[in-house]
Amino acid sequence: MSDEPTDEAVVEAASDAAEGVVLSRYKQSDVTDMDVTVRFESGTLDVDVYLNAPEDPDPEAVAREAVEAAERAVDELFGASA
């Protein structure tokens, strides 16, 4: 039996982290549209964040931060299972 996190746990951790970053930068009512897509297949993580929100702070920068947070969350998840 493996101690590694399930694919579902990886996707959930990454998604939660990405959404958390976005919602920490903007009030939810200010976000016109947000889409966080996370895939974890064959040990490869793919995170896409689309954000339509006010220009301050820069939505592209916030989306990049959200992707980075998702990647860190997954790294921590695997670190905890090691």
* Confidence category of residue 81, pLDDT binned at 50, 70, 90: low
**Residue 1 pLDDT > 70:** no
**Residue 2 pLDDT > 70:** no
User: What's the CA gap between 10 and 41, in Å, rounded?
Assistant: 10
| Domains of the chain listed by start with CATH number | 7-81 (3.30.300.100)
Determine the pLDDT at residue 67. 98
Q: What is the mean predicted confidence (pLDDT) over 45-49?
A: 97
User: What's the CA gap between 19 and 67, in Å, rounded?
Assistant: 9
With a CB cutoff of 8 Å and minimum separation 6, the contacts of 62 are: 21, 22, 25, 26, 51, 53
pLDDT digits (tens, 9 = 90+) for 18-43: 999 999 999 999 999 999 999 999 99
